[in-house]
Amino acid sequence: MSSFAPYPADGALSRRGKLGWALILVSFVLILILSAVPSPYVIEQPGPVYDTLGSNEAVGGGEPRPLIDIPDARTYDSTGELNLLTVSVVGNPENLPHWLDVATAWFTPSKAVVPVESVYPPNVSTEDRNQENRILMVNSQRDAVAAALTELGYEVPRTLSVESVIDGSPATGVLEEGDSITTVGGDPVVDLAHLRERIAANGASAPLEFGLLRQGTAMTLSVTPEERNGTPAIGVLIATEYTFPFDVEIELDDVGGPSAGMMFALGIMEKLTPEQLTGGEVIAGTGTIDAQGTVGPIGGIRQKLFGAERAGADFFLAPSANCDEVVGNVPDGLEVFAVATLDDALAALGAIAADSGYSGLPRCTAPSQN
């Protein structure tokens, strides 16, 4: 006698079918909800990539316009690329990403999900934020020119001036637009980084003395910093004014912040150097820079690594201070070197150009386990 499994009763089939359709319906409703309900996050992803030796347009399109132009000095062509990276932010306080977008970004290696307040602080207006980013970009370009020309042996005198005073800040009614800051706490101001360090060291509980020139008149005034996003600040936007031996024009539209400083400096040096610093290679990188050539950390390093890989870069210069974020997030085929100064970056370019091996160059490595 043959055996067989009996068919389930019609009622069981009906119940199972109804349960399956119910689950599908619930899933569909959840997807609709996730697609419609805004989250308290924004999404960071790789942004446009620009070759500092090439055009103002992003890599891959647009009419060529020199990103760096030095009309009054002899310049040299390069067959390589020195790419600066950007990060695009999806969403803002008025138009937040939906939960489904956030969930998708969470599992995408090239993207990051961050609280909206970390990008758009609630106590800072969009206008103030955009203005601050514009000034940071302008300052980073000036610092890059100063660092590059200083490295090449030029003398570059500098002054710090108040670009604007934020309404309601500690500096309101004390400092004025156009003031040139000469001393802080009784000591000569070296550069913008030095000024920030002195304000941070002073803290938010005691007045800090500033020496300045206002329309040619020397004076001394005091401002008590206040905490802003965890850092003592006086509420002014500072521009660094340099006296350069010749004009260096940098034209980059719709990009803010200081993170392109190191790549600007390298691009300027490549244009002013007869030998190709790049050796014809495609090299990307990021990092702030000051007039002394110190390379500082930036945000969005993971997105920039993927942006570099997508733009066809073979090498990446990363600030040493960002190494903890670099480890474990390097796309396949991308060689990453850690740099803390402009000299470190030039040493990396020298090894890349000579194709002499990279064993002696600093790398980002995981911290040792104790």
pLDDT value, residue 305: 97
Q: Are residues 330 and 255 in the same domain?
A: yes
Q: Closest Cα to residue 46, out of 106, 104, 82, 88?
A: 88
Confidence of residue 94 (pLDDT cuts 50, 70, 90): confident
In a domain, 126, yes or no: no
Task: Give the CATH number, domain containing residue 224.
Answer: 2.30.42.10
pLDDT value, residue 367: 59
Q: What is the pLDDT of residues 235-282, one digit of tens each?
A: 998 888 889 999 999 988 778 888 999 999 999 999 999 999 999 999
In a domain, 27, yes or no: no
Give the structural domain span for 305: 42-90+246-354
Q: What is the pLDDT of residues 181-240, one digit of tens each?
A: 999 999 998 788 889 999 999 999 899 999 999 999 999 999 999 998 788 999 998 888
Q: Are residues 237 and 187 in the same domain?
A: yes
In a domain, 192, yes or no: yes
Residue 300's contacts (CB-CB under 8 Å, 6 or more residues apart) are 44, 87, 112, 259
Q: Are residues 173 and 259 in the same domain?
A: no
Output the CA–CA distances (angstroms, integers) from residue 93 to 61, 285, 360, in the order listed. 31, 30, 46
The DSSP element (H or E) to which 211 belongs, if any, is strand 208-214
Strand-strand pairing, 208-214 and 180-184 = antiparallel
pLDDT value, residue 369: 39
Q: Which two tokens stand for residue 14?
A: 């009906």
Q: Give residue 248's Cα distance to chain centre.
A: 22
Q: How many Cβ atoms are within 10 Å of 292's Cβ, its own excluded?
A: 16
In a domain, 369, yes or no: no
Q: Are residues 85 and 168 in the same domain?
A: no
pLDDT value, residue 14: 64
Q: Are residues 200 and 234 in the same domain?
A: yes
Task: Give the CATH number, domain containing residue 276.
Answer: 3.30.230
Tokens 């070759």 sit on residue: 51
Tell me the residue length of the chain. Answer: 370
In a domain, 331, yes or no: yes
Q: Are residues 238 and 164 in the same domain?
A: yes
Q: Closest Cα to residue 335, out of 354, 363, 311, 360?
A: 363
Q: How far apart are CA 294 and CA 342, in angstroms?
A: 6
In a domain, 219, yes or no: yes
Q: Are residues 201 and 290 in the same domain?
A: no
Q: How far apart are CA 334 and CA 313, in angstroms?
A: 7
Asked whether 330 and 308 are in contact (CB, 8 A), the reply is: no
Which of 114-128, 158-172, 312-326 is modeled with the greatest confidence?
312-326
In a domain, 217, yes or no: yes
Question: Domain boundary at 212, 242, 272, which?
Answer: 242
Residues facing 208 on adjacent strands: 223
Give the CA radius of gyration of the chain: 26
Strand-strand pairing, 226-228 and 217-223 = unpaired
Q: How far apart are CA 229 and CA 189, in angstroms?
A: 24
Question: Domain boundary at 224, 242, 260, which?
Answer: 242
Domain count, the chain: 2
Q: Are residues 201 and 298 in the same domain?
A: no
Q: Are residues 225 and 318 in the same domain?
A: no
Q: How far apart are CA 271 and CA 148, in angstroms?
A: 11
Q: What is the pLDDT of residues 276-298, one digit of tens each?
A: 999 999 999 999 999 889 999 99
Asked whether 300 and 87 are in contact (CB, 8 A), the reply is: yes
Q: Closest Cα to residue 354, out of 275, 272, 271, 267?
A: 275
In a domain, 150, yes or no: no
Q: Are residues 330 and 348 in the same domain?
A: yes
